[in-house]
Every structure is written in C-alpha cells, then in structure tokens.
Structure 1
Amino acid sequence: MSPSLIDINSWPLTIQLLFLAAPFSLNAIGLAVTGYAAWSSEFEVINRAIRSNAYLEQTKRFWGTTSYRARWMVVCAVCGLLTFPHFHSRIGVVDADELKDFPSRLRRKLVVSSWLILIGSAWLAVAYVIVSH
C-alpha cells in the first residue's frame, strides 16, 4: 500500500469531523430546500413557470403532480434547468424567455439548493478518495 499524499489521521479530530460532516450538511440543506419547494405553494409557481421543456411536461403527464415523488422530480428537473440556463437554452430544451421570466427570488433559492447539493456531493467524493487511500 502506497503512502497517501494527504493523511487525514494527522489532522486534529475537530477538523477531521468537520471535513467529513460538512458534505452531509450541505447536501441535507440543499435537499431540505428542494423538498420544501416540492411540497409548498412554491410548487404551483414552479409548475406554471416553465412549459417549454418536453421532458418536464412529459414527467408531469406521466407521474402527475399530486404525489410527493412526482413533485420532487419536477422541482429537481427545474433546478437543473435554472442552474445551467445558458446551456439548456442553447441546446433548445427550454425557452430562454421562460427562464428569464422565472421569479427571481425562487430562482435564486433553487439554484443555491442545486449548488449546495452539487458541492456537497463533490466534496463527499473527494473525502471518500482521501479517506480510503
């Protein structure tokens, strides 16, 4: 077994715990915000705001919008569209004007949620590599 470039065991215990707990915390906060949006009145705003995405409309028709799972899937799809709007409008999967007209406060909330989940997941992957080697 080759020596690790980063030896997490040499770090102070508090730093080790923070390093390993932080990605779970980021993911939990991001998932809680997304979950809240799926089950609150914000879902109706999200549901009405984007109509040009075929996948989103197909998901709504297939799963409906009454179960928590269906609402969660719709919110997550919208989070993806809002987090990378230029990419999605450039490839033509959503109308750029719909993304521009999306309520700004809700957009910011969903984009922050997405980034918390992405950063937390990436951090978790890096932490796994560091700890396992």
Structure 2
Amino acid sequence: MIDINDWPVLAKIILVTGPFVIGLPGPAILAFLVLRKDYDIACSAIKSNPYLESIKQAWGGRRFKWRWMLMCTIAGLITFPGLALRRGKLDADELKRFPAALKIKLALATWLTLMGCVWMIVAYALLELSKGR
C-alpha cells in the first residue's frame, strides 16, 4: 500500500501544489487571449462547425465569462479535432488555415489544464489510498 506519511515534506508539497502550478496557467492563457485581438481571430477562423456557430451567437460579444467559455470551446476543438472531422462537423481546410501561433497557444492552454486535472486526480487517489492504511 502507498503511505504518503512516509514521504519527505518536499515531495508532499509538490504533490499537493503541483496540479495548481501546472493547471492554472492554462485558463490564465485563455483569459489573456480573450482580452486580446486573438479572440476575434479565433472566432472568425472557424465557420464550419454548427455547434460553435450557435454558441458564438449565444455567448459571443457579451461579458468576459461567456467570451472565455467560447475560447475554451475553440481551444478544445482545435486541440482535439478528430471527432468533429470524422463527423463532418469541421472542415479540414479551415483547420489547416487556422493561425499556427494561435493554435499553439490554444493547445498549450488545453494541455496544461488537462495535465493539472489529471495530476489532481492522481494526487487525490494517492491521498485516499494513504488514508486506507
């Protein structure tokens, strides 16, 4: 069984703070992109996805929260386009024409957020396993 109580203090601190150090920059990057002209570029670059178009009309141009949620949706679509491409809900040429620098920023933000969430789940599991002892 895993016993976290036997770990050095530094390892415990890294285990607990790691998800926040890794995961929080992702949403912060997306918030930064929303406040810049990158938001308009990202919204105008994809027109073929019907779901994205409907939430652009519902959320776009309003308060910061809705713009940030729309940017998160675009980041997910750009980072993991496989299902949308297979179903014909995204044009492959449109995805290729998406600005490369913005695509990298969106992918970085998505992966940082996902890695932070995975780390948090693993840390929680380790803490629960340590309690069972």
TM-score by length of 2: 0.91
Question: One-letter code of the match for 2:50?
Answer: A
Shift of 1:63: 2.2
1:17 aligned to 13, 22, 46, which one?
A: 13
Match for 1:24: what amino acid? Answer: F
Report what 1:95 is aligned to. Answer: 91
Partners of 2:106 and 2:78 in 1: how far apart? 8
Give the counterpart of 1:128 among 105, 124, 128. 124
CA distance in 1, matches of 2:59, 2:28: 22
- Percent of aligned positions that are identical: 39
The Cα of 1:129 is off from its aligned counterpart by 0.9
Aligned to 2:73: 77
Divergent runs of 4+, >3 A: none
Structure 1 distance, partners of 2:65, 2:90, is: 23
Q: Please name the residue that 1:61 is paired with.
A: 57
- Which structure is richer in relative contact order (CA contacts within 8 A, separation 6 or more)? 2
Residues matched between the structures, number: 129
**Is there any run of 5+ residues in structure 1 with no aligned partner, and where?**
none
Q: 1:39·1:71 contact (CA, 8 Å) conserved in 2?
A: no
Partner residue, 1:108: 104
User: C-alpha separation between the residues in 1 aligned to 2:84 and 2:111?
Assistant: 17
Decide which of 20, 45, 53 is 2:41's aligned counterpart: 45
Q: Distance in 2 between matches of 1:7 and 1:100?
A: 48
Contact 2:79 2:110 in 1 (8 A): yes
